[in-house]
Amino acid sequence: METIIWTEALSVGVERIDREHQTLVVMLNDLGQVIGSGQGQQSVAQVVCRMRQYAQEHFATEEEAMTATRYSGRTSHMAEHDAFIEKVLEVEDALSQGEPVAAGDIWKYLRLWLTEHIQGPDKVLGEHLCACGKG
């Protein structure tokens, strides 16, 4: 699995959110290592579960900021978070039931979702929070 490097291109201009995104990138790289080292589905499941739990904490950070600033894009942004968690829970279920799951495809999905979400709706949210003086 390739390594993802966090660069300013992924910054949304809000320090706390950037720090949490950096942690998610670290977790994604950890997952890549576990998959690459062939440690098996149980280990993959554990790392995916940890990453999903941290993503939920992170989404709560963003959603609280959206509520506090009466952000108009809150509903659609939250729908993206919810769809992501739902999808990851499905993957966790499949892994825990020992169903054959292509770990590399999971990793690619997580990477694509994370980078597109950060550079899309999270950046828009970051601009809004900065404009509200919450950057």
* Window 57-76: contact mask with Fe ion (x via CB under 5 A): -----x--------------
What span, in angstroms and rounded, lies between the C-alpha atoms of 63 and 77? 9
Q: Tell which residue, 10, 46, 14, has the closest CA to residue 25.
A: 10
Q: Tell which residue, 102, 105, 61, has the closest CA to residue 81.
A: 61
Length of the chain: 135
Out of 27, 65, 92, 122, the residue judged to bind Fe ion by CB under 5 A: 122
Which of these ranges, 27-35, 45-53, 56-64, 66-74, lies near Fe ion under the rule CB under 5 A? 56-64
Amino acid letter for position 15? E
Closest chain position to Fe ion (CB): 122
Which of these ranges, 34-42, 54-62, 65-73, 87-95, lies near Fe ion under the rule CB under 5 A? 54-62
Query: CA-based diameter of the chain, in Å?
Result: 48
CB nearer to Fe ion: pick between 92 and 122: 122
Contact residues: Fe ion, CB under 5 A: 62, 122
